[in-house]
Amino acid sequence: MEKIKEKKSTTTSKKAVNTGIGNLFDRDNYKWMLIGVAVMLLGWLLMAGGASKDPNIFNKNEVYSTMRITIAPIVIVAGLVIEVYALLKSPKNTQA
């Protein structure tokens, strides 16, 4: 009697593995993730900007430029939105 129960439990565990939803991410998901990372890197590079010619002189226009204060954070947030889309996008090969 116990042997029968053991066989049933092993067959149900095999069925659970075989009838899973498949891979969590598809090739498209990874593509969108890489695009999101690239967009965020671009934003960080825009925020970093260039180096000052003389470190003893403070250039207000260079530090507080529109590129560093406005555009770069928007690009980083856009990259984060792309990442969320990549994570939530359902793969095409799901078995529903």
Per the domain annotation, does 10 fall within a domain? no
Per the domain annotation, does 32 fall within a domain? yes
pLDDT tens-digit series, residues 16-33: 444 455 678 888 999 999
Q: How confident is the model at residue 15 (pLDDT cuts 50, 70, 90)?
A: very low
Answer yes or no: are the C-beta atoms of 79 and 36 closer than 8 Å: yes
Q: How far apart are CA 55 and CA 31, in angstroms?
A: 41
Count of domains forming the chain: 1
Structural domain boundaries enclosing 28: 23-96
Q: How confident is the model at residue 61 (pLDDT cuts 50, 70, 90)?
A: confident
Q: How far apart are CA 14 and CA 19, in angstroms?
A: 9
Answer yes or no: are the C-beta atoms of 75 and 43 closer than 8 Å: yes
Per the domain annotation, does 1 fall within a domain? no
Per the domain annotation, does 42 fall within a domain? yes
